[in-house]
Amino acid sequence: MIDDRRLRHLETQVDKLRTRTKDSSTRKTYDQVFDHAALLTIASLISDDVISTLDYPVSTGKEANVFHGTDSKGRAKALKIYRIATATFRNIAMYIEGDPRFKRVKRATKPTIFAWAQKEYKNLVRMGDAGVRVPRPERVLDNVVVMEYIGDETQPAPSLREAAPADPQAVFEDVVENLRRIRKASLVHADFSEYNLLWWGDQVVVIDVGQAVPLDHPRAEEWFRRDVVNTVRYFRRLRIDTSPSSLEQAILRG
């Protein structure tokens, strides 16, 4: 049960986050993220002991805000909160249509976003089960996905884009192995790039899997090839000699 005391306590936490923000556009984003429904959702995650505190923002993306949270045992969590007020899901329908797991989704905004959060959670589970290195999924509720936080108290893990790995060949092999396992999960990431790979403990961690689709999606192969091309482009800049066709084969040989 969510009692008033808990909800007030949460409102205080969110208020602190809000007043700490000098930047008015970020503040506006907060107002959009933390509507009453979102506060209730977070309060319910707190009363279920999925997290015990909502701490600070990690990232403000196009569609979602990611926050650092902590559970009662002191473990760090990432909360990815999809915004409802300013949802710009131009592409969402394209990824959901053709996915038999989401046949019954209504076009209305809120159910679509909830389904999207469900999809991200399920994709995390499915990839994790296939051995893809992803943040461990913890819970999905409404528009909030809770997962393992990658990073430490001083910083979230940088993306591969921001990091400068010392041994590109080793990173390449790690990335290929993760692509193989995504394939083994019968999924295509569909937004695979150095922006959606975190670099932590000399290993890559695959994130942002909301748009991933099963192999029987009509555009799965097209998006698979796009993932491969992005990967080749990134590693060529690091002087790794590869091509889309050789990488594709390396993945499919699995």
Active site members: 191, 208
Is residue 151 helix, strand or coil? strand
Between 39 and 69, CB nearer to ligand ATP: 69
Query: H helices of 48-201, where?
Result: 92-96, 109-129, 168-184
Binding pattern for the stretch 208-247 against ligand ATP, x by CB under 6 A and - elsewhere: x---------------------------------------
Between 7 and 175, CB nearer to ligand ATP: 175
Residue 78 touches which of Mg ion, ligand ATP, none (Cβ within 5-8 Å per kind): ligand ATP
**What's the CA gap between 44 and 236, in Å, rounded?**
46
Question: Per CB under 5 A, does 138 bind Mg ion?
Answer: no
- Give strand ranges (E) for the chain: 53-60, 64-70, 76-82, 137-141, 144-148, 187-188, 197-200, 203-206, 213-214
Query: Whats the size of the chain, residue-wise?
Result: 254
Q: How many helices (H) and strands (E) does the chain have?
A: 8, 9
Check residue 195 and report its DSSP letter.
Answer: G
Question: Which 190-219 residues touch Mg ion, going by CB under 5 A?
Answer: 196, 208
Question: Which 44-83 residues touch ligand ATP, going by CB under 6 A?
Answer: 58-59, 61-64, 66, 78, 80
Between 59 and 243, CB nearer to ligand ATP: 59
Among 157, 190, 204, 206, binds ligand ATP (CB under 6 A): 157
Query: Contact residues for Mg ion (CB under 5 A)?
Result: 196, 208
